[in-house]
């Protein structure tokens, strides 16, 4: 049991990667605090994991008061916090001309302000347990797509926050690391591409230049990587940003029909 008796709060954990992390963490012995906006999904996952080993807190991280409320509620669940996983994020698409102040502010509120405020609120508890923070970022932080400019900016800011707080909190024995996730086949991603007009079997036909292995990453792949970073096995590493992707992001050459004889 790599996470035996640890208490871990995962934001945005009623679907997708967050839910899969909750399932894997619980299987590794952790007590998991679930979080999300949908009470029905949260309570269903809590019932699956077992009410003795999990709890659920409902709320919207766009509300500036919610991170402090979530932190207080999470501490009431099991009396301590060993790890915080900042997973919740809005991935709403918009090109530059459609990115108005209200849209931009909501993306930043959920994707960037909320993680910072949660760490701030939970810092005393994390100091007590010499705990850790794992921020879930994206490879789009390095540049991003034209229709995800605000999202990409938020994830770039998350990387800076990760490194800054790792440096700041090191003497307190609180570690802060980040994994930047590549293209992952969640239920939401599947439905998004269906909405874009792709056929139902589109995951079976992804081009090799985006998925050299022949298939996209799965939520389980991300959850398995996350286990290491929230476990004692990764201590004392802090300030690391790891790309979870099938190809290098720097110096990449697309190996399509350019083989040298």
Half-sphere exposure (Cβ direction) of 17: Cα atoms closer than 13 Å: 29
Q: Among this protein's residues, is 151 annotated catalytic?
A: yes
Q: What is the rounded CA–CA span in Å between residue 213 and residue 222?
A: 16
Q: What is the rounded CA–CA span in Å between residue 248 and residue 101?
A: 34
Given 151, 190, 209, 228, which residue is catalytic?
151
Q: What is the rounded CA–CA span in Å between residue 43 and residue 49?
A: 10
Distances (CA, A) of 182 to 81, 141, 204: 28, 11, 17
Q: What is the rounded CA–CA span in Å between residue 57 and residue 147?
A: 32
Judge residue 253's burial from the number of C-beta atoms within 10 Å of its C-beta, 0-12 exposed, 13-18 middle, 19 or more buried: exposed
For residue 220 the two structure tokens come to 């389980």
Distances (CA, A) of 197 to 5, 45, 87, 104: 45, 31, 28, 26
Using an 8 Å Cβ cutoff, are 46 and 19 in contact? no
- Under 8 Å CB-to-CB from 128, ≥6 apart: which residues? 80
Distances (CA, A) of 188 to 16, 184, 185, 216, 235: 7, 10, 8, 14, 33
> Which amino acids are annotated catalytic?
151
């Amino acid at each position: 049991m790599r996470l035996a008796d640890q208490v871990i709060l995962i934001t945005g954990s009623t679907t997708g990667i967050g839910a899969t992390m909750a399932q894997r963490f619980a299987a590794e012995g952790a007590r998991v605090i679930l979080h999300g906006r949908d009470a029905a999904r949260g309570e269903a996952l809590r019932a699956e994991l077992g009410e003795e080993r999990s709890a659920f807190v409902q709320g919207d991280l766009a509300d500036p008061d919610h991170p402090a409320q979530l932190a207080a509620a999470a501490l009431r669940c099991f009396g301590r916090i060993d790890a915080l996983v900042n997973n919740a994020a809005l991935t709403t698409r918009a090109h530059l001309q459609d990115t108005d102040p209200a849209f931009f502010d909501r993306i930043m509120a959920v994707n960037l302000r909320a993680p910072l405020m949660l760490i701030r609120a939970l810092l005393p508890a994390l100091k007590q347990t010499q705990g850790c923070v794992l921020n879930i970022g994206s490879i789009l932080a390095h540049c991003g797509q034209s229709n995800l400019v605000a999202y990409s900016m938020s994830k770039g800011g998350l990387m800076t926050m990760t490194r800054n707080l790792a440096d700041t909190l090191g003497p307190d024995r609180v570690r802060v690391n980040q994994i930047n996730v590549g293209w992952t086949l969640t239920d939401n991603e599947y439905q998004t591409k269906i909405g874009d007009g792709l056929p139902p079997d589109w995951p079976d036909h992804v081009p090799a230049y985006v998925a050299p292995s022949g298939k996209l990453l799965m939520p389980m792949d991300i959850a398995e990587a996350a286990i290491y970073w929230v476990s004692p096995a990764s201590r004392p590493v802090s300030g690391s940003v790891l790309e979870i992707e099938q190809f290098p992001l720097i110096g990449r050459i697309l190996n399509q029909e350019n083989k040298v004889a």
